[in-house]
Amino acid sequence: MQSNRSSITRRRLLKVSTGALLAGAASLPAAGPNKKRVIIIGGGIGGLSCAYDLMERGHDVTVLEASRRTGGHVKTIHDPLPDGLYADVGAEQFTNPGYDTYREWVRKFDLPVLAYERRRNMFANVRGQWRTEAELADAATQRGFGFNEREVAFMQEHGWKEMSRLFFGPMAEKFKDEYQPFGLGLDDLDHVLLGDWLAEQGASETARGFCGGSRLSSRDKPATASDVSALYRIWQESIVKLRGLPVFKREVFRLKGGNQLLPDTFAQGLGDRIRRNCPVTSLEHDAGGVTVTFTEGPDKKAQTLKADHAVLCVSPLVLPGIQISPAWPAAKKFALEHTPMGMQSRIVLQAKTRFWEGDSVPSINFETGNSTMGLVYECAHEVAGESCVLMGSGPPALSAEDALAAFRRFYPGRHPDSIQQAIVHQWWKEEPYAVGCERHPFEFGKLAQFWPHLIQPIGRVHFAGAAFDNLPWGQDAATRSARRVVKAIDAA
């Protein structure tokens, strides 16, 4: 059954997107010699924002989306949730500060924004014991965990979530261009384990684990591809500082009615420039342009389009399904084939009441310490009524029964019989063309083999999306990389 909340959202979407499209059309530059034809491969938020931006600059765009829906890894579900409830089973949030390009689009379309309370008053299971934020901020507790006095003093002044900046903060001064990690006298640190580097800086064993080293020391065993290099982590932390952001972003937001509202607005404005159910099978490129072959519709009839440029806005995990001619240069091929992408399931728990409010639990914003459901928080809190939706994340292959059982085990209250259903959205299964969430750290010791080859264009073929930016933060990386590509095409 469709709720009034959903109907209102769709009416607002139509009004906003149509108005924005007309306003944009009025200011479009006249078609001239600089007008280019561009094929966007992939209709996620990166591809849609790229296409809309190019359209507004007067270019001729076509979006080829392999699935029957647009939005990619931004997806809001309403069914089978009751009472107007919904859940973002893909991209969860955006921040302020941060997400500058994303927020430009939100302001442009005047989309409704809600503060997200999921990172406030958090309740964490640390070493098997539930702790409030006040307890974790206590100096005696921090000493008990094994932090040294220098680290405790820093946390007392700046907050315990900011502790990593004690070590990484001074290094940010060396970075002037956030897209350039090399040539700063730090290149050798790509062959140094993060834990080893932190130990040299005087970090305690606890701090080394807190700061994200996959292993404490190279003395344990030789470094492997899954280990994090000191250079990679220093670079990533320096980008955050260069942008003026805190280490832990408490000020997070979402779109009222679901984050899919933005890609839906793009899609409404692009109209029939989007061709759905059109998986691309091959891409030929040369100095004169590109030729894209794809199948369309249930008949899978092969079709071909020619253009001046193509933009690949798909996960590196999807690219092997597209035949490229001529083949990528060796450096590009390595970067695309070895980029590590994470996959996870989204867990949705629908309950008939907010049971934790009367259950001596200080907050439902959990850091659980449980690999089956590591985080818990409430979504759609603005929807009136007693029913509610809790969200979390888990491993790619997970059953609803196992997710609910895990929640019942780690929940620190009285386990009331309030949860009515558990839903597990598995991206690798339900959205195969949107497989792969955020990019993981590059292989240990091989940063120069990935960067900047991963994001660089090959002739008239460009790359955008969550995997193709310096800081792989979902919607932020997708819209930032799309804007970078748009500027390059517009200037060509």
pLDDT in tens, 201-212: 999 999 999 998
Residues whose CB falls within 8 Å of the CB of residue 89, separated by 6 or more in sequence, listed in order: 75, 76, 77, 346, 348, 425
Residue 220 has pLDDT above 80, yes or no: no
Beta bridge partners of 462: 311
Residue 15 has pLDDT above 90, yes or no: no
Question: In the numeric block, which tokens belong to residue 366?
Answer: 């959990």
Enter the DSSP assignment of 228.
Answer: P
Residue 28 has pLDDT above 70, yes or no: no
Q: First and final CA of the chain: distance in angstroms?
A: 50
Lowest model confidence (mean pLDDT) among 64-68, 371-375, 416-420, 446-450: 416-420
Q: Is 210:142 a contact under the CB 8 Å cutoff?
A: no
The mean pLDDT value for 404-422 works out to 89
Residues whose CB falls within 8 Å of the CB of residue 466, separated by 6 or more in sequence, listed in order: 44, 46, 73, 315, 437, 438, 439, 472, 473, 474, 475, 477, 478, 481
Residue 395 has pLDDT above 50, yes or no: yes
Query: What pLDDT score was predicted for residue 26?
Result: 31
Q: Rounded to two decimals, what is the model's pTM? A: 0.91
Q: How far apart are CA 171 and CA 213, in angstroms?
A: 17
Q: Please give the class, per CATH, of domain 4-69+260-340+440-491.
A: alpha beta
The mean pLDDT value for 397-423 works out to 91
